[in-house]
Amino acid sequence: MAKVKRTPRVRPNVETTSHRIDDRGSRSETVARVVAFSDGVIAIIVTIMVLELKTPVLEGNIHGDFDFGYLAQTGPRFLAYVISFAFVVTMWFAHVSVMRGLNYSSPSLLWLNAFYLFFMSLIPWTTAFVGEHPLLPQAVAMWGLTLTLALFVGADSNACFVLGRYSFDLPYSQT
């Protein structure tokens, strides 16, 4: 039986050279990593917030004398969670829409994104604090301050990158 020499198959309209070096600073290498990291951090933030919701402690025989008054114990904590969850998801939507339009990363983008994620990472802690002490003015003030700082840092980064000010920075891989 004769051996047939096989030639490698190449798909049409596909270049066979590697673009690994050529796409440094492009969407595929830098902005995609920022988006993936941010999505992971925000997912962890939401997970921590939901894990802070504790079930109410039920006393006695729950089958015979169950009363929905037990659920009132979780009211302030659940309300704080709902507000914080809505806030985090809204901020995530804005983040996704801004990042969708970027083609490359810059040091400014990375720093603004880091500050944005820092203030968002404080939200589960302040949410738990205000859920435990809903009538304590310091808890409510700290929760509001954290949400406000996350909002302002997020709005500042959104404004910077939507208005195109990011284009004055060199791509991160060239600095």
In a domain, 57, yes or no: no
In a domain, 60, yes or no: no
In a domain, 2, yes or no: no
What's the distance, Cα to Cα, between the start and end of the chain in Å?
60
Q: Is this structure's pTM higher than 0.75?
A: no
In a domain, 138, yes or no: yes
Rounded Cα distance, 158 and 62, in Å: 51
The residue behind tokens 């404080």 is: 122
Residue 27 has pLDDT above 70, yes or no: no
Rounded Cα distance, 88 and 12, in Å: 45
pLDDT digits (tens, 9 = 90+) for 76-133: 888 999 999 999 999 999 888 888 777 777 787 788 888 889 999 999 999 999 988 9
* Residue 57 confidence class, pLDDT cut points 50, 70, 90: low
Rounded Cα distance, 91 and 163, in Å: 18
* Residue 66 confidence class, pLDDT cut points 50, 70, 90: low
Neighbours of 132 (CB within 10 A): 13
pLDDT digits (tens, 9 = 90+) for 43-56: 999 999 998 887 76
Mapping DSSP to helix (H, G, I), strand (E, B) and coil, where does residue 51 land? Answer: helix
In a domain, 35, yes or no: yes
* Residue 11 confidence class, pLDDT cut points 50, 70, 90: low
Boundaries of domain holding 31: 27-52+84-174
